Amino acid sequence: MGARIDLLEMPVVLRPLMPFAAAFVLAFALSGTPLPARAAGAPGVADAVPVAPGLHAFDLTAARNGLTYRVDVSVPPVTPPPGGFPVLYVLDGNAFFGVAGTTARLLGWERPIAVVAIGYPGVIGFDLTRRYLDFTSAVTPRGRSIMGTRAPKVPTGGDEAFLDVILNEIRPEVVRRFPVNDDRASLFGHSLGGRFVLHAAFTRPHTFRRWMASSPSIWWNDRELLTEEANFAARADRPALNLTLAVGGAEQDPEADDTPERVAFRNMARMIDGVRDMYVRLVELQGDAGHLELLVVPGEGHISMVPAALARAVRRAGE
């Protein structure tokens, strides 16, 4: 399989969202709506509510950390293949379920996949407090100093607990409820979520078949991910990763409304350089084993590159 670099010829913008897009708009609008609290097969798990044809949602209160998650699910409107549909798990589900689900429907006629978006009840868009807790390791004094005024003022350090929740609570519930193939599960995360994806890939590499780290925050905690990467490289049981690293081609460009603090943070984060450097190291480590991919989206920034990254994640999840 080997390595691959894609430099897109033009920014990827989703086409008009087709007739079924309205259903995803509805699902997005309902992401903050309370769901039934009656348990369905497991303590702390609410019944799945059909939001629209093929779209479902349920809340799960995790035993591992006591926190509640909103799980939105898109199931293709076709007969599942033997073993079930491949499944793409998407972090920041409140923000990305609409884009991910619509993209899966647009691109999935030949290789349909299920999309499972993990988010939070009562939220539209990003829940900054919860994502800082779920997607990060505990911020260190050194890490806080490097981030300066952008250092989080909310709790951090819940990444291991959140990974346990995904693997041991959310995934089994999804398998129980829907016709998915858990052996063909992929994980997508963006920014701090991309950092979480890499943390999971380096520390528990056998848990997902494919990984997509979109604009990952490699800079977090003075680049501690590089230590995890080195530990992964030294493992005797290290598998060959199927990993896509994606980044916007304009993420290191100056901006018209730059402030000294923003410039300092951008120079510290080195988003494009960090992703490219990691890709090169992993290619040297794996050679032709597995499937490594670098996706650079010219002209796009930290958020505007997400549709391209999700489109690639959907395609890879179906392979």
Q: What is the pLDDT of residues 58-68, one digit of tens each?
A: 999 999 999 99
* Least trusted range by pLDDT, from 31-45, 119-133, 172-186: 31-45
Grade residue 145 by pLDDT with cuts at 50, 70 and 90: very high
Helices (H), 91-170: 93-107, 128-135, 141-147, 159-165
Q: Which residues are catalytic?
A: 191, 251, 291
Is it the case that residue 228 has pLDDT exceeding 90? yes
Angle of helix 192-203 versus helix 225-233 axis, rounded to 10 = 20
| CATH for the stretch 2-317 | 3.40.50.1820
Token readout for 172 is 């089994």
- The structure's pTM equals 0.88
pLDDT per position as a tens digit, 3-28: 545 444 323 333 333 334 444 444 44
Percentage of the chain lying above the pLDDT 90 cut: 77
Q: What are the structural domain ranges in the chain?
A: 2-317
Check residue 9 and report its DSSP letter. S
20-48 in b/e form (b: 16+ CB < 10 A) is: bbebbeebbebbeeebeeeeeeeeebbbb
Closest CA to 159 of 138, 135, 132: 135
Is it the case that residue 269 has pLDDT exceeding 80? yes
Name the region of 295 (left: φ>0; alpha: ψ -120 to 50; beta: rest). beta
For the chain, the average pLDDT equals: 89
Stretch 184-213: mean pLDDT: 99
Residue pair 133/142 in contact (Cβ under 8 Å)? The answer is no
Q: Please state, in angstroms and as integers, the Cα–Cα distance from residue 214 to each residue in 206, 220, 306, following that order.
A: 20, 15, 7
pLDDT at site 34: 53
Stretch 270-287: mean pLDDT: 98
